[in-house]
Structure 1
Amino acid sequence: MARNDKHLTALRSLRLFHACNTKELEQIARLTDEVTVQAGRRIVTEGDTGAEAFVIVDGIATVVLGEDRISDLGPGQHFGELALLDGGTRTASVDAVTDMTLLVLSRPAFMGLLDEQPGIARRVMATMATIIRDLEHPGSG
């Protein structure tokens, strides 16, 4: 799979972008940076202010809440997406278990895209409404 195809597949995994078409995902992909993280490194720290979202292309990470290991994340999974919307504090820490390749999308780049592309903004807002509805009324879909 070509690097760009891998990035599109990874971005498509974010529920926030489920309603976006391939052209829109390509626009979002152009805003991302591919970074590598060594095993054992902390990627984000619980309580820190968030300014970006991460999508795992390769490798395994673990989510830590307080001192408890909550779950492992692998390729196609993501974390930090709430930071794209509100720039709030991280709700958990995430550590690299193995060497990793991540796509990183910054909040300023994402907000700029929403300003420039109202179609993407509308789709993201519709998806957010669905997510909120699902949280308020689980199973009512």
Structure 2
Amino acid sequence: MTALEALQRSVLFKDFTETGLRIFAEIAQQKALPAGTPLFVENMVGESLFIVKAGTVRVTQRTAEGERELAVLGAGEHLGEVALLGKGVRLVSAVAATPCEVLEIAHRDFFRKAAEKPAACLKLALAIAADLAAKVAENRELLRGLPGRKPTG
């Protein structure tokens, strides 16, 4: 499967034309990972969005009780999308559960491409925002139970 075909299968890119898909296929790095290989580890600086081309990726988080599995992602699914828009600390770990092929779009390449193709990059940023809003809505009840931040001052 080509990078273009993998992007076509991803929900983040569902509204992109073939021209738009080609813009991101140009900067996507294809990687093959043996089972057990980390894509990223909790608390490391995030710098890339990943799209699963083949295989499965296990997403976990450390808790006081040990490691907790949050999700198992397969072909067409994505992770690490917030890191594409702004570098930050990873809140979870992601490890290839099976032999995997992924596309990686790095933060630096995305912002270089934004200078050339701002409309395409804005469209992807809006797709990421919509995806995150949907995830927040799906997890509304869980989020209500989280302790809030105390105001400073």
Q: Deviations over 1:32-58 (max 9, x none)?
A: 111111111222101110111111111
Which of structures 1 and 2 has the bigger CA Rg? 2
Structure 1 stretch displaced more, 44-53 or 123-132: 123-132
Gaps of 5+ in 2: 139-153
The yes-or-no answer on 1:122 pairing with 2:99 is: no
In structure 1, stretches of 5+ residues that fail to align are none
TM-score, scaled to structure 2: 0.76
Alpha carbons of structure 1 residues 86 and 16: separation in structure 2 relative to 1, 3 Å: farther
1:124 CA displacement? 3.0
CA distance in 2: counterparts of 1:58 and 1:136, whole angstroms: 26
Q: Which ranges of 4 or more aligned residues in structure 1 deviate by more than 6 Å? A: 135-138
Q: Which amino acid aligns with 2:50?
A: F
8 A contact 1:33–1:105 mirrored in 2? yes
Q: Distance in 2 between matches of 1:134 and 1:65?
A: 21
Letter in 2 for 1:28: F
> Residue 145 of structure 2 corresponds to which residue in structure 1?
none
- Greater CA deviation, 43-52 or 114-123? 114-123
Task: Note the alpha carbon deviations across 1:46-76, whole angstroms, 9 max, x for none.
Answer: 1110111111111111110111011111111
Aligned position for 1:86: 86
| Deviations 1:91-119, CA, capped at 9 Å, x for gaps | 21011111111111111111111111122
How far apart, CA to CA, are the structure 1 residues paired with 2:129 and 2:97? 34
Q: 1:137 to 1:58 in 2, by over 3 A?
A: closer
Give the drift of 1:137: 6.9
Tell me how large the CA RMSD over aligned residues is.
Answer: 2.2
What CA distance in whole angstroms lies between the structure 1 residues aligned with 2:132 and 2:96? 30
Q: How many matched pairs? A: 134
SS in structure 1 opposite 2:45? coil
Measure the CA separation in 2 of the matches of 1:46 and 1:129. 22
1:53 equivalent in structure 2: 49
What residue identity is the alignment partner of 2:109? A
